[in-house]
Structure 1
Amino acid sequence: MYSLTLEQDNRATVSAAIHSDRLVVACLCAAWCGTCGSYRTSFETLASKHPDMVFLWVDIEDHADIVGDLDVDNFPTLLIQRHDTVAFFGTMLPDPAVADRMIQSIAELPDAELQRQAQSTAERRTWQSECNLRQLLNAPG
């Protein structure tokens, strides 16, 4: 299982993990959010079901320097990407079964189809430039 929480002192470790060939599933939440607190256990359970993926927990207030410009409307918000292709960015029902189905369907997509979908709408094209965790984590502070 590869589950991480972004902290101030582990950015290099997180960066290395998300630059691997694994699908990255990031949950963007806030410490004060009750829904996030209860969803965290479900998120960890999802991580244990998918040991071939990287699951990353990001507190959007603690790490506003990285994700502060992302449009997080509600919690939990998931960001799923493979390599530099953002496959999903948005609010998710706090139901692990819903997230699991989405994660599995994205994981099964061939790279060419994932890239085609990433360019299929204006919203998805925006995700590619504004929501790429690899770029956000390595951007100069």
Structure 2
Amino acid sequence: MYRPLFDELARAHPEVRFEWVDIEDDSDIAGDLDVETFPTLLIADGERALFLGPLLPQAPVLARLLTSLQAAAPGSAGAGGEAQQVFERVRTARGA
């Protein structure tokens, strides 16, 4: 199960906001996104999506990804249009 790892990383990174979205329960958030691999993560910087894709359910893998995205230069390219659309739906649904 990925949820315990997700929650553990949320506690380890209080500077990052974590939102769990179950696409079976929140299909309106996923929209037309066709998620075939689980888990699929969306990571954003508060304004734009930086990553959208499947990720191994291992805490060190996600921790490395977070570190690399946080170290990227401001203004670097985001994850693209579909990721941004999903991010906007998450923001709207979760009041972020």
Number of matched pairs: 92
Summarize deviations over 1:65-84 as a string: whole Å, max 9, x none. 12132221210111001132
Given that 1:86 and 1:127 are in contact with CA atoms closer than 8 Å, whether structure 2 keeps it comes out as no
Q: 1:59/1:128 Cα in 2 relative to 1: closer, same or farther (>3 Å)? A: closer
Summarize deviations over 1:11-41 as a string: whole Å, max 9, x none. xxxxxxxxxxxxxxxxxxxxxxxxxxx1111
Aligned to 1:125: 80
Aligned to 2:89: 136
The two structures have a TM-score, normalised by structure 2, of 0.82
More strand by share: 1
Pairing 1:1-141 to 2, within 5 Å after superposition = 38-113=1-76, 117-118=77-78, 124-131=79-86, 133=87, 135-137=88-90, 138=92
Question: How far apart, in 2, do the equivalents of 1:67 and 1:111 lie?
Answer: 27
Amino acid at match of 1:45: E
Amino acid at match of 1:65: D
Question: How far apart, in 2, do the equivalents of 1:74 and 1:126 lie?
Answer: 20
Question: How far apart, in 1, do the equivalents of 2:19 and 2:83 lie?
Answer: 18
Given that 1:76 and 1:91 are in contact with CA atoms closer than 8 Å, whether structure 2 keeps it comes out as yes
1:105: how far off?
0.9
- Which structure 2 segments of 5+ residues have no match? none
Q: Percent identity?
A: 38
Amino acid at match of 1:127: E
